[in-house]
Amino acid sequence: MGEVFWSDDIASLMINRKKYNHIDKAIEPSKSFAIKSSTSISGVPHIGNASDVIRHDAVVRSLREKGMDVRFLWIAEDMDALRKVPAGIPDSFSKYLGMPVADIPDPEGCHKTYSEHFCTKFVDSLSDFGTKPEYLSTSKEYRAGNFSKWIKLVFENLDGVREILDKGRRVPLAKNWVPWKPVCQNCGKLMTTRVTDFDSNSVKYVCEDYQFQPYGEKAYTKLSGCGFKGDSDMKNGKLLWRVEWGMLWAYWKVNFEGAGKEHFMPSGSFWSAGEIAEKIFDWPEPYPGENYIQPYEYLTISGKKMSASVGNVVATWDWPSFAPPQVLRLLFLKKPNRVRDFSYEYIPKYMDEFYKLQRVYFGKEEDDKEEFSRRLYLMSEVSVPDKMPAQIPFDYAAMVAQMVPEEGRIEKAVQIFRATKHLGEKYDAKALGKMLDMAKEWSDRYGGPSYKINLQDNPPADVVESLTDNQKSAIRKLVKALDRDMTEDELYAKIFEIIKESDISSKGFFKAIYTILIGRPYGPRLAQFILIIGRNRIRKILEKI
């Protein structure tokens, strides 16, 4: 029997779970489950946030395949305060620091709020990646009073909450500590309020200066309080993070939620929230704790952590403009508990990896881990086709997209891909056009110099004059070889046969050809390039030497 795919194993563990984790209590068998993914909307949602959704979607798929009823939730944590103005947002938004993002205006003016703008774009874009969770908002739930009875439970059991949280603290929480942050009725800030008195229904507070260190920053930011003193019910504010997390699990009856490794340190927030969920709210900590996905690692971009502040991420709604959604699913699902470095430059390589899984799935290629590879393909695919589609290498598509004219480009591209044996008689013109657009955009953004093609139909005179007799001889032989049709492998072999016969170095030969054709001493794989451009056109250019 082959390796069990991690999401299938998690689904089985959830279905067969018998007990709570922190108290001695049994769990009744059920065929109904809730899976939760969430994002703090204090920044602009990006592909890193999508990792959470895509990994949870795999568990959702596994449960549904086992006949379970699954509610898949994506929660916008939009009651969180804006702690830093994200890249791409006007600097003037610094005046909203400390306010809930649900109360900040939309920077583009097309929605009522900052939160609504980015949440809508994010959730709508997820359908491109084959998933569509139910979109919910913490600010709406708080302000509708839907959390009120749960918050009251916290205040009625403050000693128990403090005892749980103190397990991970060197200095115990003060006796007058409360896990509630009201929104100031005067200035609208959340981070500057301090509770001065309370009961289980309301709090008294003062709005005062507050210093904090934004994530990834060395310097502290000072927020000015307005000095207002007021009373607040348990609707316009929020619970502190660990307590809120446990409450959200109980409120939405969540059975599973993955998280990053920082939440699973000894006395980490997952364990604290889980203990609060069980002991205060009588809901089992989402199962199964540490496993194939929990705690999962993060994808790094060219060796650096994915971060909007670093500027190495893109929005989920931008990704499909330059790369297939299946590539992102594959990157997030292949080894979720191992660090995997990623580079936008290598998207063609990742697409090749996806294509291999597709060939294994459709029985076109063998694999030592066939069962696992087939399962990984199914989980990576957005919509599984009835039969294996044409596989056009992404780097081929990028070069073709640059070379074919806009008028009649599909027809011309079809001719090229048929000549290179990547396309048969039947093809999907819409899908091909989409692939060409995507590959061209990738090449423009990330492809690097070797993918920027500017074919010279007339070789520069100084280049011709600089050629040695051996180089000219080799070029004449290549011109003659291009009289007949060849596959890429055949042409590749012929090129190296010519190099050997002409008594020149491969470096000297390729430098001459690339300089003649595209004006620089290097370029894409020559055999591939010749077939994409067309051997007749290349032959006509080289005949001018």
Number of neighbours of residue 62 by Cβ within 10 angstroms: 23
Whether 56 and 34 have beta carbons less than 8 Å apart is answered as no
The helix-helix angle for 506-518 and 535-542 (nearest 10°) equals: 100
Note whether 324 and 354 are within 8 A (CB): yes
DSSP state of 126: H
Task: Average the pLDDT over 113-118 and give the result.
Answer: 94
As a whole number, mean pLDDT of residues 446-451 equals 83
Q: Band the pLDDT of 1: cuts 50, 70, 90.
A: very low
Which residues of the chain are in CATH 1.10.10.350 domains? 461-542
For 74, the enclosing helix (H) or strand (E) is strand 69-77
* Distance separating alpha carbons of residues 228 and 166, to the nearest angstrom: 31
Q: Using the predicted structure, report yes or no on whether residue 289 has a pLDDT greater than 60.
A: no
**Measuring CA to CA, which residue among 77, 70, 105 is closest to residue 89?**
105
pLDDT > 80? residue 218: no
The tokens of 345 are what? Answer: 């430059």
Report residue 451's pLDDT band, with 50, 70 and 90 as the boundaries: confident
- Residues 306/299, Cβ–Cβ less than 8 Å: yes
Q: Determine how β-strand 134-137 pairs with β-strand 69-77.
A: parallel
- For residue range 456-469, what is the model confidence (pLDDT) as tens digits? 889 888 988 999 99
pTM for this entry: 0.88
Reply yes or no on whether the pLDDT at 74 is more than 90: yes
Helix (H) or strand (E) segment spanning residue 222: strand 221-223
**pLDDT above 90 for 4:** no
Higher-confidence position of 228 and 292: 228
- The CATH H-level superfamily of 6-148+240-279 is HUPs (3.40.50.620)
Q: How much is the pLDDT for 2?
A: 58
Out of 92-101, 174-183, 260-269, 481-490, which region has the weakest mean confidence (pLDDT)? 260-269
User: Average pLDDT of the chain?
Assistant: 91
Mean pLDDT of all residues in 186-202: 94
pLDDT tens digit sequence for 393-404: 999 899 889 888
Least confident range from 71-85, 86-100, 251-265: namely 251-265
Is residue 53 a contact partner of residue 74, using CB atoms and an 8 Å limit? yes
Q: Which has the minimum average pLDDT: 198-202, 306-310, 537-541?
A: 306-310
pLDDT above 80 for 216: no
pLDDT at 424 (0 to 100): 86
Half-sphere exposure of 377 (CA within 13 A, CB side): 23
Q: Which residue has the tokens 């139910």?
A: 134
Find where tokens 């409120």 sit.
251
How far are the Cα atoms of 34, 226, 229, 287, 415 from residue 186, in angstroms, in the given order?
A: 38, 8, 9, 42, 68
Of 150-159, 300-309, 413-422, 490-499, least confident by mean pLDDT is 300-309
Is the per-residue pLDDT at 94 higher than 90?
A: yes
pLDDT at 294: 62
Residue 43 has pLDDT above 80, yes or no: no
134: number of Cβ within 10 Å: 13
Best CA proximity match to 285, nearest among 270, 296, 263: 270
For residue 280, give the nearest of 243, 241, 253 by alpha carbon.
243
How far, CA to CA in Å, does 285 sit from each of 12, 142, 239, 327?
17, 22, 18, 32
Q: What percent of the chain has a predicted confidence (pLDDT) above 90?
A: 68
- What is 461-542's CATH number, 1.10.10.350, 1.10.510.10, 2.60.120.10, 1.10.10.10? 1.10.10.350
Rounded CA separation 135/123 (Å): 7
Q: How far apart are CA 26 and CA 94, in angstroms?
A: 49
Kindly report, residue by residue over 363-387, the tens digit of the pLDDT: 999 998 999 999 999 999 999 999 9
CA distances from 439 to 113, 146, 311, 392, 393 (A): 34, 47, 22, 11, 10
Q: What letters, b where the CB count within 10 A reaches 16 and e where it falls short, cover 435-455?
A: bbebbbbbbeebbeebbbbee
| Tokens coding 77 | 């944590």
Whether residue 151 has pLDDT greater than 90: yes
Quick one: pLDDT at residue 421? 82
pLDDT of residue 264: 75
CATH 3.40.50.620 residue spans of the chain: 6-148+240-279
Answer whether 537's CB lies under 8 Å from 531's CB.
no
pLDDT tens by residue, 479-513: 999 999 888 889 999 999 999 999 899 999 999 99
What's the CA angle centered on 37, arms 32 and 41, to 5 degrees?
A: 150
Q: Please determine, for residue 236, whether its predicted confidence score (pLDDT) is greater than 60.
A: yes
Q: What is the pLDDT of residues 321-344, one digit of tens each?
A: 999 999 999 999 998 877 778 899
